[in-house]
Structure 1
């Protein structure tokens, strides 16, 4: 990294934009409903007192006093009489439950609300109005602290504003969970979904079934790299941990004090490997299984027997006693029905209950679970898969596969929480830089989070009212540490907070405030990502003789440092570039472009892209077996995918099939080399071809072989195929799929081809 920075200083071509004007007022997130900035400041000092008009606001006042005392050293005496230099908590009647008004004047600060929640949210906004140094937990020597004068009137649009945390895949201690709750409270979230069980570990003490934690709470090892890598490796380290019931109560009490409702998630009937490792008799096959060390979807499923429902009844009895929330999430997602359909018991059950499919069996299972929860006055919440054959009438739906689940739920009369993965899953990559830390897959930049509109337009007014809110998710398959978790959550949580509060209508203001939001996070000792700065490289034109690229920054006020290297060169010789004022770059040979953006002391991760003009660009390609989706255009677009994050959409993918591609040059061309992209960058190891053969023809009928390699084991993401120069109208490339699966989860091996560059 230091080497690249030195090169940027010596050789980089720098594009400057207009200076970024300092934001006069501090950023507020989520942005309040109404804000009227005033001239002047309130000076908070050692003589500032706190006034309470009633007991409503008592806890919020204590929260403010406790928060301010470490950095200021002030004691903040409470007084019963009105005077100057006060922070007043004023109870008023008639306001909505979570609404508040905040007035910062020259001589007083007034927080008004009808509820403790509103008072608490007023405190969070006041905290953001103060200098970022107020976040220090150590004393800072100041005579006073300045707060800009302002009038704010605020209330949320949605009653459900949630965030999720997966502690099954990687276990996090209570201290981190509490810190996570602090972050949610600061951003005015009011729901926390605690994903406590999955295939990789059971994380909650159940006294009736101690083996759930003694056996189901630990796994022998964890996959190294990605779970779907070509050659799976494991770390050989036991991963374990669970929360005692005493710890659960402690976390709930902590959350309640911050007006956050904790929803437990106990995932059934799928994602149950940890349960069945402890109690295999609850499966249909009764065979021993293990707690999974890989990630993905597994066939282990609870059998819909009386024994299983008796087990779940006792589990839910203990869980219900621990969690005051009326909502209990039971998962219900990604259930593989194979073991059910192979079971004689389930076959008999299907006849008895008039069930005709695996989806029907799942619906039956969920209905039985709902009856159990009703005993404990709980409402069942499930992922949108539970809609397949009919969910319980009072069930709430979390719509994760897209917005369609929420639409279908509301049309059927269910309340829905929108959590579509493409907008709210923070385990996705934040930029296209290959230097992003490992993520599961997908691309979710902060502007996409901010731009999410929660309520679909194509619903009636009554149906829209059933969309009660939005929830983000942090799945932790590849997030092993707290600092990595922080990086994935921040600053995207600030964008989601605006969405959840209902005020995500001014991206320009939010984007300009992002550097200052980051600085506050840093003052809170949060490892926030700079990925919002990462540049963009867009292909404007691709021909056999020229590639035209446009390079822009993720933040217009930053400067860009641009380098070009000889692609795939061992010496990385740097070449000068002609970059116009619009950020356009023209290339007539293969190059690797590396770009970094800088704003003040913030430096983005480098964005790297290898591009090349070549003779197959724009030419017709005929496939014997069609690749999946629309990916076949990627095979001759002049762009290699290996030096950005793994994106399956950048590859032509052949599932269980060979690739046979015929390129028609329309006239004879001299050809002596083909460079094929066959692998991803640093985060994924794709399945290489078993063999590759190259043929040529002048009539498309008679073919001559010019190159053949067998037993391909790819160390590099590309394969270079050199041969004596030929003159040909047609070139055919055959890449053989290995076909035999290395994983039962993948019945057909995928063959990935990124580019067929012809020279």
Structure 2
């Protein structure tokens, strides 16, 4: 199947282009005018570039040497067949690429624009050009065209956590090279955390001799009971020479590296090496599990001296104007119990421990600024007052970014709802273990980094967006690539081409280009996730009837299905559902089954044809199925809350109203809640149900009894019958009070708890 795609792309590259959407460019250029004819690139082509465009010119020659077995000979501008020309009228990072029958001309105002023109030219070549060390010299035909292109956002970032799991410098370089292909310009390198310190600091050798290694690692999910460990020592770190090598490599790929040194929280690895940096002074191990830990840097003078010395080693290694200092998930319990911290709060006239964190961040910012750099921090740095010149990465949603932009601070949007690539990307039960959540390809593609709450002036402070890959559950390079690709293709398009203005029209075009792009990923030996041939099912309701719709993202495929083990049929229209049913289906391409087998069980209960309303909307990070997911007859996964059936509400008291449209008899209501305190998810302490008869008489039932039928799942049954007889009602109202603030000693202490609920079954 992939070989067929490969041949299709190669034939197109030989000159059979008929329309621009057949060219699998990602991200999509701002303007593309396709012309008749092709231009042949071979060893006879000559090259000219001005000194400013040396990185772009050398990259192109190295690429052709590796993929085609030749380099372009350099000559004068007048005689060259491929010309890089400076054009100050082009926007920063923008370019014009003109391919005629006689030459290729690239116009750009800066080195970045020229480099990105080369990446576009590279994508116009067939995927075989990506293969290394050809056995003989190759030649390629590319279409004649004119492309005018520039980025919508100046910050287009991708993150990699190397603290939870360590990845060697060669893989990091491959990761950076892949960013360059997609015109992403920032690599956020997460180098320190509770589970490992990964960067050599000359003055503090024990940061790497001790802090870079943990004695064992958690097996399975954090929520598994009992927790199990592998008993194997694990770790690694980058020497300063390694860092210099990676930074030099990134510069040749037009990528800026932003290092992250976490503070004041996520510091257990550092404190394990130097216990005096903590508030207790006691020896602690490098963390062997995930989550948030109480041991954080104590704001003593010796701690600030330590951090300034660390940053004095880090800053010269990275040319970036930014240093990321974390600032997230810093529990304040030890600060509350620390005499020094409490005295400091009083002496500095700070409001509380949040004010103390603001003091901590502002002090570090002054030092970083004195070295000619700026700080970036996660949105928690807003708490207690934002440091004057800080840039905010808004991860807990969009609100932190909105607040910062309104205060005229630069913002990088990276919300869990759209940009956390450690979340599940498919409903399939055989997906590799992930932290939770649900961020499929379409969700990433639908992202708009500029919130509607900001006006035009405030929107200027949104620098761009970034996708994050945290690696608690990602142990090797292949799994990194699986979680990143193809979702990074969507993020690159959002940040370069701009967010979609018509998702239902633009997404199919994007998916078509992703499908055509996959042979290039094969040539690059990238272990991408292929969910393009999967099926998605959806309940539709019309005139009191229930239908089941099947769709698959790519065009030109056939769907075959059976219902309740009936004879297999070709899917032509939504399937009528009149009873509890099991549907099985497959996708076929040219008569051959592709993708995975699909199955869905639908419970036909008394609420499935009703109307539903909520007093609050689910959090955007966990709203994939919308309110209808609660009465569509489909239950969420028993093992994870990362699918389109589970809805998540952060800190809200939920009220659900179900209107049956006519009087019916009901006996009970069954609800399911996810309960995973390690991830801030707590089932409610009680649930209250009300229903009304035609005269408005209310029947109420409250319950505090939850039955655990599966790990992390709490079931509740509300009995609404009267003397064992069903109650006649037209409507149902359910109150689900939020658990409240997470208590001290638990993960997420001091934060609002999450409520996760899936199907409401009415009997």
Displacement of 1:648? 8.0
Distance of 1:29 and 1:578 partners within structure 2: 36
- Which residue does 2:391 correspond to in 1? 396
Displacement of 1:409? 1.3
Distance 1:226 1:22, change over 3 A: farther
Displacement of 1:333? 0.9
- Which residue does 2:46 correspond to in 1? 50
SS at match of 1:586: strand
Match of 1:586 among 576, 584, 595: 576
Distance 1:614 1:176, change over 3 A: same
Distance of 1:616 and 1:459 partners within structure 2: 39
- Which residue does 1:513 correspond to in 2? 513
Distance 1:345 1:758, change over 3 A: same
- Which residue does 1:473 correspond to in 2? 468
- Which residue does 1:147 correspond to in 2? 142
For this pair of structures, how many residues does the alignment match?
Answer: 717
Does 1:446 pair with 2:431?
no
Distance of 2:670 and 2:391 partners within structure 1: 52
Distance of 1:633 and 1:109 partners within structure 2: 54
Consecutive unaligned residues in structure 1, runs of 5 or more: 1-20, 566-573, 622-626, 691-698, 704-708, 732-739
Contact kept in structure 2, 1:688 and 1:713, CA below 8 Å: no
Contact kept in structure 2, 1:409 and 1:415, CA below 8 Å: yes
Of 36-45 and 271-280, more deviation after overlay is shown by: 271-280
Does 1:534 pair with 2:570?
no
Distance of 1:616 and 1:37 partners within structure 2: 53
Distance 1:446 1:39, change over 3 A: same
Does 1:282 pair with 2:277?
yes
C-alpha RMSD over aligned residues = 4.8
Displacement of 1:74? 2.3
Q: Kindly provide the CA deviation profile for residues 535-555 of structure 1, in whole angstroms up to 9, marking residues without a partner as x.
A: 221122499x98532211223
- What does 1:57-206 align with in structure 2 at a 5 Å threshold? 57-80=53-76, 82-83=78-79, 86-139=81-134, 144-206=139-201
Contact kept in structure 2, 1:668 and 1:729, CA below 8 Å: no
Distance 1:561 1:485, change over 3 A: farther
- Which residue does 1:551 correspond to in 2? 550
Distance 1:599 1:370, change over 3 A: farther
- Which residue does 1:320 correspond to in 2? 315
TM-score, with normalisation over the residues of structure 2?
0.81
Displacement of 1:147? 0.5
Consecutive unaligned residues in structure 2, runs of 5 or more: 1-17, 501-505, 613-617, 686-696, 718-722, 729-741
- Which residue does 1:696 correspond to in 2? none
- What does 1:446-465 align with in structure 2 at a 5 Å threshold? 446-465=441-460
Displacement of 1:357? 1.9
Distance of 1:246 and 1:275 partners within structure 2: 21
Distance 1:717 1:599, change over 3 A: farther
SS at match of 2:187: strand
Distance 1:607 1:118, change over 3 A: same
Of 142-151 and 452-461, more deviation after overlay is shown by: 452-461
Contact kept in structure 2, 1:741 and 1:749, CA below 8 Å: no
SS at match of 1:497: helix
Q: Kindly provide the CA deviation profile for residues 140-161 of structure 1, in whole angstroms up to 9, marking residues without a partner as x.
A: 6676311000111222232222
Distance of 2:663 and 2:489 partners within structure 1: 56
- Which residue does 2:5 correspond to in 1? none
Displacement of 1:615? 5.1
TM-score, with normalisation over the residues of structure 1?
0.81
Q: Kindly provide the CA deviation profile for residues 663-691 of structure 1, in whole angstroms up to 9, marking residues without a partner as x.
A: 999999899x999868899xx9x99999x
Q: Kindly provide the CA deviation profile for residues 438-492 of structure 1, in whole angstroms up to 9, marking residues without a partner as x.
A: 2222222222222222223443443222222222211112111111111111122
Contact kept in structure 2, 1:609 and 1:643, CA below 8 Å: no
SS at match of 1:37: strand
SS at match of 2:324: strand
- Which residue does 1:695 correspond to in 2? none
SS at match of 1:537: strand
- Which residue does 1:262 correspond to in 2? 257
